[in-house]
């Protein structure tokens, strides 16, 4: 286990000028592109001990010292690797050096996955987000900050492309999720810059060998597809950042256009709407009934049925949600 330094930067004044500007750039991104002022905020930080979350914790520690905010780290020991307990001890030691409170929870993810029938990745994700939700409540935090960076965003875009995700979801994960109160302050920061930040400051991080396991689709994308795109276009990550910005702009626009949608969308509204808007109205109505992936093909089928006046046509969506074409429009419902 790499030793935790006896002292670490706790404020912008403790950093070399280059890295103080780096941290201020993160603050500016969160304010200008995510719409959140960090000054005075209480933040929970998802902290695995890896390169991204270590850089995030350190940068937010320095920024909150300046703005009067507070942070608390949240670490889940998945108990999936022999090094998991050592990771947790390292996380606790680094947080103690930074003067950051740390919440560590254990979850037997393998057993939970077997019992539920869900995959290891999905079960681990659910366990982490359950921890984050509890830390938000218990510590009165405004947001949970996660360490996803630009390389992660590139992987996400390619995986969404492979799944056939529609626009603007194709532009990748959002930098801000108000439903789950998540922020991704590093989303347009390349991983190489995070590594340089920690290396110059002499801050170690934990390596997770499972990130090299080619059984997982994300790891295959990282190892094979991203390098291929970088060979074709050395500025591929910059292109992903531009795509993300356009996607966020369009996501915001369509959010405004669908803000007032309810469980019943009348013909008077649908008949005046372009198909692009109708499809997004349907999706917004379904999203308001609960989170679950909405299948684009089914949305298109619903719209064709409405156009053909197929009164009584029923469409099923994940999450036990239903859409019915009626003589008055389209009605959405969910089993509770």
Whether 50 has a binding-site annotation, put simply, is: yes
Whether 52 has a binding-site annotation, put simply, is: yes
Whether 260 has a binding-site annotation, put simply, is: no
Helix and strand tally (H, E) in the chain? 13, 10
The string over 290-309, giving b where at least 16 C-beta atoms fall within 10 Å of a residue's C-beta and e elsewhere, is eeeebeeebbeebbebbeee
Whether 46 has a binding-site annotation, put simply, is: no
Whether 48 has a binding-site annotation, put simply, is: yes
| Torsion sign, CA atoms 290, 294, 300, 304 | negative
Q: Give the Cα separation of 69 and 61 in Å (integer).
A: 9
Q: Give the Cα separation of 180 and 220 in Å (integer).
A: 28
The three-state secondary structure class of 144 is strand
Whether 51 has a binding-site annotation, put simply, is: yes
Peptide bond into 168 cis (omega under 30): yes
Closest C-alpha among 243, 238, 132 to residue 177:
132
Q: Give the Cα separation of 65 and 8 in Å (integer).
A: 13
Q: Give the Cα separation of 247 and 98 in Å (integer).
A: 36
Q: Return binding residues.
A: 48-53
Q: Return binding residues for ATP.
A: 48-53
């Amino acid at each position: 286990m790499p030793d935790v330094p006896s002292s670490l930067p706790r404020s912008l004044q403790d950093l070399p000028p280059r890295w103080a500007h780096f941290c201020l750039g993160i603050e500016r991104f969160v304010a200008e592109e995510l719409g959140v002022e960090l000054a005075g905020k209480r933040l929970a930080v998802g902290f695995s001990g890896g390169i991204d979350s270590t850089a995030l914790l350190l940068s937010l520690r320095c920024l909150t010292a300046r703005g009067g905010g507070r942070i608390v780290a949240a670490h889940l020991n998945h108990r999936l690797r022999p090094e998991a307990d050592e990771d947790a001890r390292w996380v606790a030691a680094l947080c103690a050096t930074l003067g950051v409170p740390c919440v560590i929870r254990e979850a037997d993810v393998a057993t939970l996955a077997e019992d539920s029938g869900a995959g290891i990745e999905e079960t681990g994700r659910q366990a982490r987000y359950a921890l984050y939700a509890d830390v938000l409540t218990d510590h009165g935090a405004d947001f949970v900050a996660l360490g996803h960076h630009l390389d992660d965003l590139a992987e996400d875009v390619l995986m969404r492309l492979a799944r056939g995700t529609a626009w603007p979801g194709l532009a990748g994960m959002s930098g801000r999720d108000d439903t789950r109160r998540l922020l991704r302050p590093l989303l347009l920061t390349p991983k190489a810059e995070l590594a340089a930040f920690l290396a110059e400051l002499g801050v170690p991080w934990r390596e997770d060998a499972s990130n090299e396991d080619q059984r997982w689709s994300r790891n295959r994308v990282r190892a094979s597809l991203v390098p291929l795109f970088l060979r074709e276009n050395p500025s591929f990550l910059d292109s992903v950042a531009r795509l993300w910005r356009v996607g966020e702009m369009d996501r915001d626009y369509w959010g405004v256009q669908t803000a007032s949608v309810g469980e019943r969308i009348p013909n008077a509204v649908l008949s005046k709407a372009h198909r692009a808007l109708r499809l997004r109205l349907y999706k917004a109505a379904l999203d308001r009934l609960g989170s679950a992936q909405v299948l684009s093909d089914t949305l298109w089928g619903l719209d064709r049925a409405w156009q053909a006046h197929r009164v009584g046509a029923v469409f099923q969506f994940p999450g036990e949600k239903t859409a019915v074409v009626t003589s008055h429009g389209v009605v959405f419902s969910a089993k509770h």
